[in-house]
Structure 1
Amino acid sequence: MKTIGLIGGMSWESSAEYYRIINEETAKALGGTHSARSLMLSVDFGEIEAAQHRGDWDALEAEMVAAARALAAGGVDFIVLCTNTMHRFAEAMERAAGIPLLHIADPTAEAIRAAGLSRVGLLGTAFTMEQDFYKGRLGSRHGLDVLVPEAEDRALVHRVIYEELVLGTVREASRADYAAVIGRLVDRGAEAVILGCTEIMLLVRPEDSAVPLYDTTTLHAKAAVGRALA
């Protein structure tokens, strides 16, 4: 089994889900008491979140590149970045580390295309929904037509992530708000919705949507196991 390098802590709530899913899927595949060979470098999300909101993307890139290099030095075979937003630096991290990075958007898009769908809604941080590093990859590499919520809904989705979900807080009122946002994306033609922040899976359930939901955390973690066992 290859060794998976995980960059976590963004937030630790979702990183814990990665660790759980990766080891559960490894046990399913290999049986018995098997678990995954992995090495996790976990950052301080308080520092990351502050830099994101002041727009210090150069400092964030430097930290992600350093983390990728540290994992490569630790002997991992490939890198799994346990967050959607910081995939803004995926290419720089891969170059610096000299080993592959399993991009979170790819297994998600592949699952959507395999289902015969092409027009999708995207929920995530404001950075993920508004910048092109994520939507652009879904479009250019996978041919998906990506819809994002309107400005007021984007602000709501972002606020819930940073004020509730990264702290492990799950509120029924926020679940209802997210369901309403999803409904408006469906009204605009979304055939499915990407849960494009690794914490959203803590809040939104399949029954909260009239169309299929694609949880990037679960899809990414399962793809990591597939690569490790290939």
Structure 2
Amino acid sequence: MEPSVGEWKSVAQKVIGLIGGMSWESSAEYYRIVNERVRDRLGGLHSARCLMWSFDFAEIEALQHAGRWDDATALMIDAARRLERGGADFVVICTNTMHRMADQVQAAIGLPLLHIADPTAERIRAAGLRRVGLLGTAFTMEQDFYKGRLVQKHGLEVLVPDDADRSTVHRVIYDELVQGRIEEASRQAYRGVIARLVERGAEAVILGCTEIMLLVRPEDSPVPLYDTTAIHAEAAVELALSTR
């Protein structure tokens, strides 16, 4: 029987530590999804036990484009340690690009870090797919920290757009999506990028930037889209409610 108003029902939930603000638009989606999924699972008035450290993204973006990754790593480690001191049971980095320093963050804290690429790859493999397209920031599409994990740990074949398409995808993320702008012309441009990946053999496409889900919908692609924001947030709920 559900408890009456005023009664308290103890439910075992781990505390999710969210490193957000990169950008806050996608972090708001994380917060919404984790709370909706906990309510769906537990019912009633339940919501997620979570903490969020939210960056000023202008500071992070400046470090990214200046190539000052060591300074960005120090900030990420500081954020994770703040969450650890605050009582988080595990850490979620609410962005794909900043998983560039996921290993360093994990080594600096005593909590598990739930890597965004792992639940995404697991869903793709469970669907019987192996060759995937990857959309994201230029850092995610061009550097090996993300693609390499998908290939080496999960056995996927990863296709990225050509130079011109990578430039378009990156520009839309930073000039529009992280600023809350959703442009129909950009949706059409992304449709073209996706179509060209499919022509090259992509069986699915990973939306490997947490803002892309604000722009691209399933109907914009002839193959399945794997939204890392939703997948990562849902995996965080699974871990929070698990007995592991």
**Counterparts in 2 of 1:195-214, with a 5 A limit?**
195-214=207-226
Matched, 1:32 2:13: no
Amino acid at match of 2:102: A
**Alpha-carbon distance in 2 for matches of 1:30, 1:8:** 25
Partner of 2:153, secondary structure, is helix
CA-CA distance at 1:175 after TM superposition: 0.2
Matched, 1:165 2:168: no
**Counterparts in 2 of 1:1-230, with a 5 A limit?**
1-230=13-242
**Alpha-carbon distance in 1 for matches of 2:168, 2:24:** 22
Q: Percent identity?
A: 72
**Which residues of structure 1 form unaligned runs of 5+?**
none
CA-CA distance at 1:167 after TM superposition: 0.6
* Cα deviation code 1:76-130 (max 9, x no counterpart): 0000000000001111111111110000000100000000000000000000000
Q: Higher helix fraction: Structure 1 or Structure 2? A: 1
Amino acid at match of 2:29: E
Amino acid at match of 1:217: T
**Which residues of structure 2 form unaligned runs of 5+?**
1-12
Which piece of structure 1 moves more, 94-103 or 209-218? Answer: 94-103
TM-score, scaled relative to structure 2: 0.94
Tell me the C-alpha RMSD between the 2 structures. Answer: 0.4
CA-CA distance at 1:178 after TM superposition: 0.1
**Alpha-carbon distance in 2 for matches of 1:99, 1:225:** 16
